[in-house]
Chains A and B, each alone.
Chain A
Amino acid sequence: MIEYLTTDRHALYVVAAYGATAAILGWLVWTTLAANARARREMQDAEQRRKR
Chain B
Amino acid sequence: MSIWRYANPAEFMRITDPLVAPLWGAAAVLLAVGLWWSVALTPDDYQQGSTVKILFIHVPAAMLAINTYAVMAVASGVGLIRRHHVSFLVAKAAAPVGAAFTAIALITGAVWGQPMWGTWWVWDARLTAVLIMFFFYLGYMALWAAVEEPEKAADLSAVLCLVGVVFAFLSRYAVNFWATLHQGASLSVAEGQRVDDAFRTPLYLMIVAFYLFFVAILLVRARTEIRARRARSLRLQEARA
Once the chains are docked, how many angstroms separate the CA of A31 from the CA of B57?
21
In the bound complex, do residue B49 and residue A10 qualify as a contact, i.e. CB atoms below 8 Å apart?
yes
Is B220 interfacial (CB-CB < 8 Å)? Answer: yes
* CB within 8 Å: A-B pair count: 93
In the bound complex, do residue A32 and residue B111 qualify as a contact, i.e. CB atoms below 8 Å apart?
no
Q: Is the interface of B mostly helix, strand, loop or mixed?
A: helix
In the bound complex, do residue A43 and residue B231 qualify as a contact, i.e. CB atoms below 8 Å apart?
yes
* Minimal beta-carbon separation of A6 from chain B (angstroms): 13
Contacts of B14 in A (CB 8 A): none
Once the chains are docked, how many angstroms separate the CA of A17 from the CA of B230?
39
Once the chains are docked, how many angstroms separate the CA of A24 from the CA of B49?
25
Once the chains are docked, how many angstroms separate the CA of A40 from the CA of B106?
34
- Using A13-B115, A42-B228 as known contacts, say yes or no to A21 and B108 having CB atoms under 8 A apart: yes
Is A16 interfacial (CB-CB < 8 Å)? Answer: yes
Is A2 interfacial (CB-CB < 8 Å)? Answer: no
Which of B51, B217, B224, B225 has the largest count of A CB atoms less than 10 A from its CB? B224
Which residues of B114-159 are within 8 A (CB) of A?
A: 114-115
In the bound complex, do residue B227 and residue A39 qualify as a contact, i.e. CB atoms below 8 Å apart?
yes
Contacts of A46 in B (CB 8 A): 230-231, 234-235, 238
* Minimal beta-carbon separation of A34 from chain B (angstroms): 10
In the bound complex, do residue B217 and residue A42 qualify as a contact, i.e. CB atoms below 8 Å apart?
no
Which residues of A2-52 are within 8 A (CB) of B?
A: 4, 8-11, 13-14, 16-18, 20-21, 24-25, 27-29, 31-33, 35-36, 39-40, 42-43, 45-47, 49-50
Contact of A17 among B58, B103, B234, B237 (CB under 8 A): B58
